Structure 1
């Protein structure tokens, strides 16, 4: 079994992760808003310009990077949300055992907020990834037909 020292060290290390997880989630939320703007600009003007340019290789490279970014948001943000849920629950449940309900309330609030934010960013990434795949496939098909 683990010694109380190793458990204590692990508890402190995990406790230090909460702040970076929250900042990373906020960064991903900002990136998802920016990505929505980029996707709207693409849809209403950018894709037509790419299609007319006929630069298939450059477009494929750009498409790959943007789909990869959407997939990254869709996968990583929910993981960070889960981390942000679990990290404060340990101290919150400890506080409940000591009768300190205010600490438990704060921990639960952080846990729910990080879960919701992580899932929301993940949904945005998933939807943008799906839309972009369809849009880019249409443009690439059109570009290939134009060259034939």
Structure 2
């Protein structure tokens, strides 16, 4: 989740990062401003809480509440991953109800290709939710969101 955009930012801004594994993260700096060496480097991508969808279980679907990182007003939050010199592995679940991980991967792949980069791989998991869990373990459909402090649906089967 949040660790994904932090890992991408490290690869884009900090020398010496050899590889990043990004799992169901965002292609933009989500939620809080990002500073490096006391300088603001990425503005935050915010939530529109009016788009949170409550469910009968009491958990919420927040996928549609995250603002679009590709909108002009949010361009300052996009991580410039084309600056990453290390290898990038993007793993996304197609039924992620936390945010649109699949769309973020597609946008990152398009951006990297546009910049002539080939230092990446992407893997999509159909019917998987935000939490990629090992097989035969208990399924976790929802939990308290660490940043938002209310229960959210993760998606998946």
TM bracket, shorter-chain basis = under 0.3
TM-score by length of 1: 0.26
Answer with 1 or 2: which has the greater Rg: 1
Larger fraction in helix = 1
Larger fraction in strand = 2
